[in-house]
Structure 1
Amino acid sequence: MEDIEKFLFKFKGYYFNRLPLDIGFIENLDNFEIRENDVFIITYPKSGTIWFQQLLSLIYSEDHRKGAGKLETMDRVPFLEYNFRKMDFEERPSPRLFSTHLPYYLVPSGLKNKKAKIIYVYRNPKDVMCSYFHFAKNVVSQFTGTFEEFVKQFLEGRVMGSLWFDHIKGWYEHRSLFNIQFMTYEEMKKDLRGSVSKICKFLGKGLSEEDMDAVVRQATFENMKDDPLANYDNIIAIGYGLNVKGHFLRKGTIGDWKNHLTVEQNERFDQIFQREMKDFPLEFIWDVNED
């Protein structure tokens, strides 16, 4: 089993990635000043974070839509807790766009005034787990064990982001504290244009048909994978070296878990899911053919 303490930092019951973390910033995060027009994407790792960063930056940036901007997605929609670029967030012009994996109880208290907007994107956890396995093994090289060992670690919450079940349930059960919209990774895959319209309505952003076409075209998984400003390959090279085998953007499909889980692993996962998510009202799509 991996020596997770080497790579993870536990703070108030939640596991952070140790490498890019400013612990002093995290300890004072509750007091981070929120502006009324801030927008936050909140995800559990491997649930469409980079895709949604690209969507938000396309919706808010005309330069990005027209292909004139040279900023990477990481610079347009930076992580709050992982400040890779050492930005001064207070100097950023409004509206500020952020992404985060934080649980509900660690976000700045200013988000509870319901003025800043939050979009929580979730994905079926079997695909999350399989995507996470490849990411941990081939991109950040923090895991060298078998898939079975990773399944156990994931289901125990001994990964960056901690336990998936706690993350989504915590945000949903405390949704009344925030101005929050829940969306699924799978609905975005099945109807990207409809999803962009839904996002724009929540954000109060009106786009022309031409701008909508540009957002949808540039935010397809295939286009993002080939776009060095969007695919995080530069971040990988800087943070983890040039010899990394994997990519942040791997397949982006629905139902890839069927290529990984054995019958026994799948049954075990289902039992845990049914126990943990009993009476949970949000719906999940497990297969590309599901409605």
Structure 2
Amino acid sequence: MESLDKYLVKYKGYYFMQNMVTPEYIDSLEDFEILDSDVFLVTFPKSGTVWTQNILSLIYHEGHRNGTEDMELGLKNGRGKVIYVARNPKDVLVSYYHFSKVSVLLEEVEDFEIIMEKFLAGKVMGNLWLDHIEGWYAQRENMNILFLMYEDMKKDLKSTVLKICDFLGKRLTEEEIDDVVDKASFGKMSVDRRTNYTTMPPDILDFSKGRFLRKGTVGDWKNIMTVAQNERFDSVFKERMEKLPFKFCWDIKDEL
């Protein structure tokens, strides 16, 4: 493993947190047995991972609690299912910046411009955002992948829950769907110790510097990025982003 600094290491072209993985563990994943029933949640860091994970847990809980039967789906050949959640990269960057203050395992950089340049160069956990989303989209014909947009979840969470249920073959009642939507709201999650991570030890998360679930809004990048920084970001990302088949929402107020 190649150390980038005291916080990140590089192995097989990918950046990981120091002391969180070993080369042996990563190599072992190449022979990991995947079952048809396996569901993988994939996101670039700070793109709604915990939120979507909570939604999945609630969907399975409602199904098992009431003995709901799964539908038989004719899925593509291949094992397992993948749910990929994408978020507009400017909000990803801002969320990563604030999270680095709370996370003891990431370098805390007070100067936003410095962390922005690292993000644009792909020298952060998760590597380059563009490579991440392009790489997974390129596998759409080879895997059972459901692509979701973080911003769509913010605008209409119920529709997203229904999409996930349909993709997984989960048949929930209207009441169960509403219960999932209610419990998966940002307000409920932010006060739930099972999802707000306040049970994590201080050597992992330092809550004296902020919250794990901070805002979860769309368009927060406008509160921190200067005009010059926004132009710099667009100069690096815009051309490749325009080739992606996704419509990104940059401010929820504009969309609504």
Kept after mapping to 2: 8 A contact 1:65/1:214: no
Once the two structures are superposed, what CA deviation does each residue of 1:171-229 show, in whole Å capped at 9, x if it has no partner? 11222111001000000000011110011011110111121111011000110010001
Superposition map of 1:2-41 within 5 A: 4-41=4-41
Alignment partner of 2:196 out of 218, 222, 231: 231
Alignment partner of 2:102 out of 110, 129, 138: 138
Local SS of the residue matching 1:61:
helix
Alignment partner of 2:84 out of 120, 136, 157: 120
Q: What residue is the counterpart of 2:126 in the other structure? A: 161
Superposition map of 1:41-60 within 5 A: 41-60=41-60
- Consecutive unaligned residues of structure 2, counting only runs of 5 or more, are 67-75
Once the two structures are superposed, what CA deviation does each residue of 1:48-76 show, in whole Å capped at 9, x if it has no partner? 0000110000000139989xxxxxxxxxx
Kindly indicate whether residue 202 of structure 2 is the aligned counterpart of residue 270 of structure 1. no
Q: TM-score, normalised by structure 2?
A: 0.88
Q: What residue is the counterpart of 2:178 in the other structure? A: 213
Kept after mapping to 1: 8 A contact 2:43/2:49: yes
CA RMSD of aligned residues (A): 2.2
Superposition map of 1:51-130 within 5 A: 51-62=51-62, 114-130=78-94
- Matches of 1:121 and 1:65, distance apart in 2: 26
- Consecutive unaligned residues of structure 1, counting only runs of 5 or more, are 67-111
Kindly indicate whether residue 115 of structure 2 is the aligned counterpart of residue 150 of structure 1. yes
Local SS of the residue matching 2:90:
helix
Kindly indicate whether residue 158 of structure 2 is the aligned counterpart of residue 193 of structure 1. yes
Superposition map of 1:247-258 within 5 A: 247-258=211-222
> Are the structure 2 counterparts of residues 232 and 65 from structure 1 closer, same or farther at C-alpha, using a change threshold of 3 Å?
farther
> Are the structure 2 counterparts of residues 239 and 116 from structure 1 closer, same or farther at C-alpha, using a change threshold of 3 Å?
farther
Q: Give, in angstroms, the shift of residue 274 of structure 1.
A: 1.7
- Matches of 1:21 and 1:244, distance apart in 2: 27
Kept after mapping to 2: 8 A contact 1:139/1:244: no
Kept after mapping to 2: 8 A contact 1:58/1:65: no
Q: Give, in angstroms, the shift of residue 276 of structure 1.
A: 2.4
Kept after mapping to 2: 8 A contact 1:139/1:245: no
> Are the structure 2 counterparts of residues 134 and 65 from structure 1 closer, same or farther at C-alpha, using a change threshold of 3 Å?
farther
- Matches of 2:6 and 2:135, distance apart in 1: 27
Local SS of the residue matching 1:42:
strand
After alignment, is 46-55 or 210-219 more displaced?
210-219
